Structure 1
Amino acid sequence: MEQQLTADAAGAWVRRWESQQRLYATARAERFDVIADVVAHAARADAEPLIADLGCGPGSLAAHVAARLPHARVHGVDHDPLLLALGRLHHGERVHFIDAQIGADDWTAPLPGRLHAVVSTTALHYLPQAVLEGLYEQVHDVLHPGGVLVNADHLFQQDTPIRRLSEAVAGGREARRGDRPHEDWASWWSAAAADPRLAALFAERRRRSLDGGSDNGLTAQRHMELMRKAGFTAVGSVWQYGHSCVLAAVRG
């Protein structure tokens, strides 16, 4: 008999996900707070702001923003059926999850209207530059005037010596904290694949030909250039710790 995935089981997998993500997002908790600060300021005049988290995975950032702005409508957008299922069971009271492939022509169709903010963390680096360029244009067009795009990721620096210094800063922080997670990306997925309750979701992942993605290698400077090219009138970094950056772009 097929085993059912419960909310408790989903919560356990999401907590393991959040732990391993700390390997890849330096100062992850602070990064989330910064993103929420930016969104709260950008949407301060709106009674019910509409926010989308792109490449939301199981919804960790979306839920964080929803907790900070309980009057907002927060939508998590992803195309991974496994992560969406975990998110719906664990964060479904705070976040509305949308199954759509960001960067595709029609990914904005399920959204209920123009957005006040679009956020993303540790997700857009896997998109090829041509797709990312189009995505930034789509985000610009779906935002209200004054709306903000916030992209937080481990972004390369343009100059190699500075890149190495930023990586050293990030590594130094993790060494001082001494709480490096024991599970990484690959081992999380391997463990999840062995859970019979997730078997049908893994089968759907295979049907969609999903993989772990890769890094497009774009610098923070190149991201900002693409944002300006997409039509954003104000672009810049609002926070950085080592190679962990939060970029913001405002639609004029």
Structure 2
Amino acid sequence: MTPYIADADAWQESWDRQQEAYLPDREHRFTAMLDAVDAVRETASPRLLDLAGGTGTISLRALRRFPDAEVTLVDLDPALLALATASLGDRATIVSADLSRPDWPTALPHRRYDAVLTATALHWLPAERLSTLYTEIRDLLRPGGLFVNADHMPDDDLPELTKRLLARAAQHRTARHAAGATLSWAQWWDQAAQDPTLRPLVEQRHAIYPSGHSPEWTPPASWHLTALKDAGFTEVGTLWRGAADAAVVAVL
């Protein structure tokens, strides 16, 4: 049974602020993502899959944009899933599944979705597994449905500028952390571990990810576009870009 989290809204706000220190234009990518959903949806209640959805960031924004949407959120982290459950309630189906395993789609309540959306999550997967996952996602979409992945995806035509942009962003982030304007990733998790309700879930998380996660792997957007073409999507392209981040889109 998922524990009751009375202050879930405060934790969501804390998560958003922590993430925005790393991703200042975070809301822009979500808007672009949901604009694309709006362009392809065929009904007032699109069926959406929030992949590696964490605390429910995308799901919450999708439901504000499309109140009648049928949303499924998938993640493996027990602490983040508890926050998602507390925030979303019965407005979404929450599923615990491991995207590193090929059988993860069997945990889903549906076999076809209008859109699969994910942000700043799949860079933990190695190249071979991510390529295969793209094929598995394709098989979950209805004809004309779309997949959007917003993540760290540098432009390989701008290597030196990208380095400078990343250095500038790091300076701004370090200043915000030093001033106490927001928590760092490690500080956020340390704080969650002090919360009586979240503490056992954070301990479960450490058991699942004893070394944190796999090392981050951030290929350029061109790699993702090629992998999506190889996975059999009809149209692929870059939906949005901000500095060293991008959102790639693939339409079935």
Report the TM range for the smaller structure's normalisation: 0.7 to 0.9
Q: Which amino acid aligns with 1:231?
A: G
Q: How does 1:206-217 map to 2 (within 5 A)?
A: 206-209=206-209, 211-217=212-218
Find the partner of 1:77 among 71, 74, 79: 74
**Contact preservation (8 Å) 1:76, 1:97:** yes
Which residue in 2 is equivalent to 1:22? 20
**Contact preservation (8 Å) 2:238, 2:247:** yes
Report the 3-state secondary structure (helix = DSSP H, G, I; strand = E; otherwise coil) of the residue aligned with 1:197: coil
Which residue in 1 is equivalent to 2:219? 218
How far did residue 214 of structure 1 move? Answer: 3.0
Report the 3-state secondary structure (helix = DSSP H, G, I; strand = E; otherwise coil) of the residue aligned with 2:106: coil
Tell whether 2:182 aligns with 1:185. no
Q: How does 1:92-107 map to 2 (within 5 A)?
A: 92-107=89-104
Find the partner of 1:142 among 130, 140, 143: 140
What is the TM-score when the length of structure 2 is the normalising length? 0.88
Report the 3-state secondary structure (helix = DSSP H, G, I; strand = E; otherwise coil) of the residue aligned with 1:224: helix
**Contact preservation (8 Å) 1:157, 1:243:** yes
Which residue in 2 is equivalent to 1:57? 54
**Contact preservation (8 Å) 2:77, 2:205:** yes
How far did residue 174 of structure 1 move? Answer: 8.0
Q: Distance in 2 between matches of 1:20 and 1:117?
A: 27
Listed one character per residue, the Cα deviations across residues 21-77 of structure 1 (whole Å, up to 9, x for unaligned) are: 00222311122111111111121x135321111111100111101211112111111
Which residue in 2 is equivalent to 1:196? 196
How far did residue 165 of structure 1 move? Answer: 5.3
**Contact preservation (8 Å) 1:51, 1:115:** yes
Q: Distance in 1 between matches of 2:161 and 2:203?
A: 43
How far did residue 206 of structure 1 move? Answer: 3.2
Aligned-residue identity in percent: 34
Q: Distance in 1 between matches of 2:32 and 2:170?
A: 20
Tell whether 2:156 aligns with 1:158. yes
Q: Which amino acid aligns with 1:75?
A: T
Which residue in 2 is equivalent to 1:38? 36
How far did residue 221 of structure 1 move? Answer: 0.7
Q: How many residues align?
A: 246
Report the 3-state secondary structure (helix = DSSP H, G, I; strand = E; otherwise coil) of the residue aligned with 2:104: coil
Listed one character per residue, the Cα deviations across residues 102-158 of structure 1 (whole Å, up to 9, x for unaligned) are: 242111112222011000011111111111001101001111111100011121221
**Contact preservation (8 Å) 2:147, 2:249:** yes
Report the 3-state secondary structure (helix = DSSP H, G, I; strand = E; otherwise coil) of the residue aligned with 1:57: coil
What is the TM-score when the length of structure 1 is the normalising length? 0.88
